[in-house]
Amino acid sequence: MTQQNISPQDLRPKNYVGSTLLFIGIFLTATVVGTLILIGLVGSFKLRWKIGYAWCAIIGWMTKVFCGLTFEVEGLEHVDPTQPTIFLSNHQSAWETLALRYILPPHSVVIKRELLYLPIWGWSLLALKSIVINRKNQRASLKSLLDQGSRYLKEGLSVLIFPEGTRAGARDVLKFNIGGAMLAHKTGYPVIPVAHNAGDFWPRYSFFKYPGVIKVKIGPSMETKGRKAADINAEAEVWIRQAMQEMG
C-alpha cells in the first residue's frame, strides 16, 4: 500500500492578493469562455477546443502575473500531435487540469459526473467531449471509459486520464487505477506517461498559490499492443514515480 507523507505546515508567506486576483480572474473568464464553448456547439469540435485552449493560455498568463508561477516542459519531442495517444498523468491540483489542455494536443479528459452539475462550466466540459464517469459505480465508470475512450481515439482524439482517481499530496503518487491501461489494452493505442510537481506550488484544497516553476516531464511512448493491462499500468506508474523522485 502506498503511504502518503504528512506535509508539514507550509511556512511560506501567503500570497493573499495574487491568489485572490487569480481566483476572480478564473471565475469571471470561465463563465464567459464556458458560454462561448456552448455557443460553439453549432460549429466544430476544433473551434470549441481552440476556445478552451485560448482560455487556458489566459489562465497561465494570469498565474504568472498574479502569483509568479510558471512552468517548464521536458519531453515534448515524445508527443506526435497526429497520433492519438492515451496520456496517463499524476494528479495533485487543479493546475494540471488546465495546463495540460494547453500543453498537450487536443484530447478528451475523464471527469467526474458531479462537475456536470455546475451551470455553464460543467456543460462546457461536456461540449469538449469529456468522458463522464460516476465514481460511485466503478463498473459503469469503466464501461464509459472504454466505450467513449475507444470512440474518441478512433476519431483521432487523444485521451487524458488521471489514474490515481483523486488529487494526491505534493510529491505523493497514489496507486493507479487500471482503467486507462485497460483502454490501452483494448484499443492498442500507445500510452505516454506525464509527471509534474504542481502540488508544490498549487496545493490541493488550498486557496493559495506560490511562486516558482512547475516541472512537467513527458515520457517516451509505450507500446501497448498485445500487452496485459496490468503490465501497462505498472510500467506507467513506475515511470511517473521515478520522474517524481528526480524532480524532488
Is 1 part of any domain? no
> What is the span of the domain harbouring residue 213?
69-247
Which tens digit of pLDDT belongs to each residue from 15-70? 999 999 999 999 999 999 999 999 999 999 999 999 999 999 999 999 999 999 99
H helix or E strand, kind and range, residue 214: strand 212-218
Q: In what order do the strands lie in the sheet with 107-112?
A: 69-74, 212-218, 191-196, 86-89, 158-161, 107-112, 131-133
The CATH number covering residue 96 comes to: 3.40.1130.10
Q: How far apart are CA 87 and CA 152, in angstroms?
A: 13
Contact 159, 86 (CB under 8 A): yes
Is 35 part of any domain? no
Is 22 part of any domain? no
The per-residue pLDDT for 11 is: 79
Q: How far apart are CA 101 and CA 180, in angstroms?
A: 18
Our count of domains for the chain comes to: 1
* CA 55 to centroid of chain Cα atoms: 15
Q: What contacts 105, CB < 8 A, 6 or more positions away?
A: 79, 81, 85, 158
Contact 98, 128 (CB under 8 A): no
What is residue 121's three-state secondary structure?
Answer: helix
Is 150 part of any domain? yes
Phi-psi region of 118 (alpha: psi -120 to 50; beta: other; left: phi over 0): beta
Taking CA atoms, 124 is separated from 40, 53, 115, in Å, by 10, 13, 10
The per-residue pLDDT for 8 is: 54
Alpha carbon distance, N-terminus to C-terminus of the chain: 21
Packing angle of the helix pair 95-103, 45-67 (nearest 10 deg):
120
The per-residue pLDDT for 9 is: 63
**Most distant CA pair in the chain: distance in Å?**
53
Cell, residue 23: 481566483
Is 128 part of any domain? yes
Q: Where are the alpha helices (DSSP H) in 128-228?
A: 138-154, 179-187
Is 32 part of any domain? no
Ranges of the chain whose pLDDT falls below 50: 1-7
Residue entry with cell 487543479: 94
Q: Which of 70, 71, 65 is nearest to 17 (CA)?
A: 65
Is 89 part of any domain? yes
